[in-house]
Amino acid sequence: MKLNNIKFKYILMIVMPLIFMFSSLFIGRYPISFSAIMKVLYMKISGVDFNIPDVFVSVIWDIRVPRAILGALVGGSLAISGAALQGLFHNPLVDSGILGVSSGAGFGAALAIVLFNNVFLIYIFSFGFSILAVFMSYMIGRIYKTAPNVMLVLGGVVVSSVFSALISFLKYVADPYNQLPTIVFWLMGSLAAADYGDVLIAAIPILIGTTGLIAIRWRINVLSMGDKEARSLGINTTVNKGIIIVCTTLATAGAVSVCGIIGWVGLVIPHIGRMIVGNDNKILIPVSLSLGACFLILIDNISRIITGSELPLSILTALIGGPFYIYLLKKTKGGSW
């Protein structure tokens, strides 16, 4: 009976994001019937022509489907990265931006907008500088050679502050009519321009990072007990910490490089997961992946219907995540740690 219950939970974790993705196909300013949506999907999968109007095909297959897929990838990657880092640092206030990933990506994107204003180079620069930011944080954390968690976090704070200042400088020198609005809108995060190219670009690092975190999730439990305890159990703390940081960096960098900076997902979702399944990272990591995918798809759907022009995702995640996080802290009395 217990085994069947576990199987049901894992099946539910897989099915839930698929349900949210499918539901998002019905949401938007252009109403399309259920039968038309099913015909478009079946036509694209099977190749059978149902003589569907081109506008239906374009709205469903070219706009809503890649947007739903990208939302699931981004939300899942941010949530699983937050859960892994919170377990690694044993700190409920840590998320994937603590190591400077978000600020580094923001600077890279802003620099590419000012210098080139090319979409592909924006992806490359934001991804590259997010990796550089984490590397700089790690090198600062190595000042005391053993790279303790506190030094690593402090290094991330320093690097984030520096890149945030550089972003402000680029805003100052940017063209106020073309470049500055683009920078500001990118920094607020959005899935509005999602296409299959974005899905492919984001999917490669995200899948590598999330797969690595899922594979090593049981070691996060050991590392969360402290370095001495982990070493006594035969765990190479330096190597395993490095693997976790690399995987979270890849997953987060892949996400923010295509859709901008989206906060609170990696902070709130792992806490919701702990309320459901507890602190065991062997279960919490995949649960956070599933919940994060569902959450960001839901937020994106709300952004599409709440106003005539879509609200940036970071505004909604902050407005919803902030009060909800306060509720979680009150309910769990500071978190289940």
Asked whether residue 41 is assigned to any structural domain, the reply reads no
* Contact between 27 and 11 (Cβ < 8 Å): no
Is there a domain that residue 212 lies in?
Answer: yes
Q: Which residue would you say has higher pLDDT here, 267 or 147?
A: 267
Mean per-residue pLDDT for 234-262?
90
Neighbours of 223 (CB within 10 A): 23
pLDDT tens digits, residue range 70-88?
999 999 999 999 999 998 8
**Residues 290-329: pLDDT tens digits?**
999 999 999 999 998 887 678 889 999 999 888 887 877 7
- Residue range 156-214, pLDDT digits in tens: 889 999 999 999 999 999 999 889 999 999 999 999 888 999 999 999 999 999 999 99
d(CA 301, CA 286) in angstroms, rounded, equals: 23
Is the model's pLDDT at 147 over the cut of 60?
no
Whether residue 18 is contained in a domain is answered as: yes
Give first-to-last CA distance, the chain, whole Å: 29
Task: Give the pLDDT of residue 328.
Answer: 72
Q: State the residue range of the domain holding 113.
A: 2-29+64-332
Residue 168: left if φ>0, alpha if ψ -120 to 50, beta else—which one? alpha
- What is the rounded distance in angstroms from the CA atom of residue 256 to the CA atom of residue 126? 8
- Tens of pLDDT, residue by residue over 255-295, are 999 999 998 999 899 988 988 888 888 899 999 999 999 99
Could you tell me if residue 50 is inside a domain?
Answer: no
In a domain, 58, yes or no: no
CATH of the domain at 178: 1.10.3470.10
| Residue 188 covered by a domain | yes
Q: Is residue 75 part of a domain?
A: yes
Count of structural domains, the chain: 1
What dihedral do alpha carbons 155, 158, 160, 166 form, nearest 10°? -140
Q: Which residues contact 223 (CB under 8 A, 6 or more apart)?
A: 87, 88, 230, 235, 237, 240, 241, 244
Give the tens place of pLDDT for each residue, 9-55.
778 888 999 999 999 999 888 888 888 899 899 888 887 777 788 88
Cα angle value 103/106/111 (rounded, 5°): 125
Count of Cβ atoms closer than 10 Å to residue 16 Cβ: 14
For the segment 88-141, what is each residue's pLDDT rounded down to a tens digit? 888 777 887 888 899 999 999 999 999 988 888 999 999 999 999 999 988 887
Q: For residues 203 and 152, which has the higher predicted lDDT (pLDDT)?
A: 203
Amino acid at site 66: P
Let me know if residue 35 belongs to a domain. no
